[in-house]
Amino acid sequence: MASRAKVLIVEDNSDVRRLYAIGLNQRGYEVKLAANGAEAVERISSEKPDVVLLDWLMPLMDGGEVLRKLSENGNRSVPVIVISGQPPPDEIDPRIRCWLTKPVSIDELVTEIQKR
């Protein structure tokens, strides 16, 4: 993936969202932000990111609901990397390319983004 890949960060914690954004911007990524799942669905449709970093547990709409909405509106193919404070469930949605358990370093994020 090119260094100017567009990454959508979906994270309800503003400090974590800002930390990821700064780190990825410094490494040459174009970063877009969403504070919740509903905003993420809208941004994915309008921004067409190359990869989505998706917090799993959020108010308004959790990560699972975001994935369902993406299937409904034709954005099924965007790669999704889940970042969660929870371990992955026994069965993971096949659209999830990677599940990272917080805390996650910027280097870990970059490594996983580059795989997509």
DSSP letter assigned to residue 39? H
Which domains does the chain possess? Answer: 6-115 (3.40.50.2300)
Kind of pairing between the strands at 6-10 and 30-34: parallel
- Entry pTM: 0.92
- Beta-carbon count within 10 A of 16 CB: 16
User: What does the DSSP 8-state code read for residue 88?
Assistant: P
- The Cα 35–Cα 8 span in angstroms is 10
pLDDT digits (tens, 9 = 90+) for 34-49: 999 999 999 999 999 9
Q: Could you give the 3-state DSSP secondary structure of residue 13? A: coil
For residue range 49-107, what is the model confidence (pLDDT) as tens digits?
Answer: 999 999 999 988 999 999 999 888 777 789 999 999 998 888 888 889 999 999 999 99
The single-letter DSSP state of residue 3 is: T
